Structures are given as structure tokens and as C-alpha cells.
Amino acid sequence: MPANETPERLRLIVLSGLSGSGKSTAAKALEDLGYYCVDNLPLPLLRTFLEDPEAQVGELRRVAVVTDVRAPGFGEALGELVNQLAQIHGYELVVVFFEASQETLVRRYSETRRCHPLGDGDRPVIDGIRRERALLAPLRKASDRIFDTTDWSVHDVRHEMVRELGDGDETARRMAVSMISFGFKHGVPSACDLLFDVRFLANPYFRPGLRERTGRDPEVRDFLTQQEDFEPFLDRLEDFLRFLLPRFQAENRSYLSIGIGCTGGRHRSVASVELLAPRLGRRGWPVRVHHRDVER
């Protein structure tokens, strides 16, 4: 780092709250924002970490830690933890507390069939929820943000984390886009979110001198460009994807896979992907390209 450049201040987010309220989903959203996340850090390690966070994470500038009643001795150490958090200076610290209504938490535990960490034997889940809510009251009071996830889906949790705790760096949370060419006779890729079929175009496979070439070769592209439907198809698909991609990203999607198929996966689909990917790249959507069947 140049001598005249100020190091970026460490940003530390501590996630806590009621079990089943969405902390793990929030941690995954922060990972997508570029945070180094640690879930259920043991209390001795958490104490050491909070004494000098920067010494523990080195060059990392964005760190999130999830801590809750799963850690043995959490209840007994809670007062000490709250005091320790209040004494942290020199770092950008955000303490986030998650909660939800008792009815919602009971329903979530019923759906997952998991035991509450404060449950005792055959006692109802709601007893553990009440105990936990009372136990965590001091931490809730000391938190910077309180998120009530009663009416939230997992997608809502991700959206709120991006909206409330994202730093405005679009590239840090830009959805990763991949484009795959393939041949229908070899099967449709299982992981495609969007699928397009270019078998309506004349097949270069049946043209002399083009069978052994692929959609990467200029001769094949020239043949396709001469067809009156090829360029309009690319233009319309580009417009369609430019409309869709921001809307998928608005739903906090991390990845989107687009499949374009022809019969064998060597000519029409390959050329389409090769020509579309840079178009999207120029619009701010770098695309990872994969030609699944081009060597078959």
C-alpha cells in the first residue's frame, strides 16, 4: 500500500438474536457482499477476537460474526459480551439483532423439525423461545439494528441485508452470469435458469466446409449472419436479457445461468453465445462462457 494511502477501516458486523429468526441466511447474504463470515464462533475465541479484531483478521476489511445461545456458556457470558462490544473503538462496528413473533418461530421449528437450543426434553418449543427472548433482552437493547423477520421469507432477509448493510459498491454484489452453449441431442443442462433454442436457424453442419468448424470460427459466423433472422434474434435476446438481469439481481440472486441450445452444440449455439456475451459485458454484465458440447 502506498505511504500516502489510508488503510480502509475494518467493518465488523455481529449478528445475534433469536434462534430461527434468520441469522444464518443473513450471514450468507453478507458473504455475497464480500464479508468473511464466521457462524457460531465459540465464546473463548469470540472474546479473543473482540479484544483486537484487526489482529485476528489481518488484511480482511469486512468481517461478520454470528453468535447466539448455541455457544456453551453464552447466557452466563452475555453481560460481559455486551460490555465488551460497548468498549470497541476504532472499528466500524454494527450489532444486528434478529427476532420474530413466537407464533412464527414455533411454525419454523415445526417445519424444520429441529430442537430449540434451550429446549428441555419434552417441553414445548415455545418454552425455549420464551427463555431465549428473556435471556437476550440486554443484547437486543444494545444492538444497532433490530430486524423483525416475522413476515419475511429467506429472500426478504437477503434483500434487507443488502439494502441496510450493503455499502453501495455494485460490483461487490453484482450477480454472476454464465452462458452455456449445448446440443439438445446430448441433453439439456440441468442448472440453467433461462433456456433458448436456436434450432430455427439453418444448420451450418450441412454446408460444405463448415461441418468440422465451430461457432467460434468466422466462416460459421459469416454463414449465420447472412441469415435474415440471426441478427434480429441476437438484438431481441440482448434486449430481453438487459430487461431481465437487473430484475433477477433485485431479488438478490447470486448466480444466473443462461443456456442456448442447437442440435449438436457446435455451431449455432456456440456462435450465439460468443456474440451475445460481449454485448452483455459492454452493458456492465460480465459473462462467464462455457461451451459444453463444442468438442463432441
Residue 111: pLDDT above 90?
no
The per-residue pLDDT of the chain, averaged, comes to 86
Place 214 in a pLDDT band, splitting at 50, 70 and 90: very high
pTM score, whole prediction? 0.60
Does an H or E element contain 28, and which?
Answer: helix 23-32
Residue 2: pLDDT above 80?
no
194-205: average pLDDT: 97
What is the distance between the alpha carbons of residues 102 and 131, in angstroms, rounded to a whole number? Answer: 11
Alpha-carbon dihedral 113, 116, 122, 124, rounded to 10 degrees = -90
CA distances from 157 to 23, 148, 254 (A): 9, 10, 14
Query: What order do you get walking across the sheet with 176-183 strand by strand?
Result: 194-197, 255-262, 176-183, 287-291
**Which of 113-117, 164-168, 189-193 is predicted most confidently?**
189-193
Residue 97: pLDDT above 50?
yes
pLDDT tens-digit readout, 119-140: 766 678 888 899 899 998 988 9
What's residue 85's pLDDT? 80
205-225: average pLDDT: 96
User: What residues have CB less than 8 Å from 96, skipping those under 6 apart?
Assistant: 13, 14, 15, 16, 17, 26, 143, 144, 145, 146, 147, 165
Alpha-carbon dihedral 214, 216, 220, 225, rounded to 10 degrees = 140
Question: Among 100-104, 123-127, 141-145, 245-249, which stretch is predicted with the lowest mean pLDDT?
Answer: 123-127
CA distances from 67 to 8, 50, 220, 245 (A): 25, 12, 58, 35
Local structure of residue 18 (DSSP, 8 states) = S
User: Which grid coordinates are listed for 55?
Assistant: 489482529
Does an H or E element contain 221, and which?
Answer: helix 218-225
Q: Which domains does the chain show, CATH number per domain?
A: 11-172 (3.40.50.300), 175-291 (no CATH)
Q: Which of 11, 12, 21, 10 lies closest to 140 in space, CA to CA?
A: 21
- Under a CB-based contact definition with an 8 Å cutoff, are residues 86 and 35 in contact? no
What's residue 116's pLDDT? 83
Place 70 in a pLDDT band, splitting at 50, 70 and 90: confident
Distance of CA 264 to the CA centre of its chain: 33
Residue 211: pLDDT above 90?
yes
User: What residues have CB less than 8 Å from 120, skipping those under 6 apart?
Assistant: 127, 128
Question: Among 81-85, 224-228, 274-278, which stretch is predicted with the lowest mean pLDDT?
Answer: 81-85
What is the distance between the alpha carbons of residues 203 and 273, in angstroms, rounded to a whole number? Answer: 16
What's residue 167's pLDDT? 61
> Residue 30 phi/psi, 5° resolution?
-65, -35
What is the distance between the alpha carbons of residues 277 and 232, in angstroms, rounded to a whole number? Answer: 16
**Which of 39-48, 66-75, 173-182, 222-231 is predicted most confidently?**
222-231
What's residue 289's pLDDT? 93
69-87: average pLDDT: 80
* DSSP reduced 3-state for 75: helix
What is the distance between the alpha carbons of residues 265 and 140, in angstroms, rounded to a whole number? Answer: 56
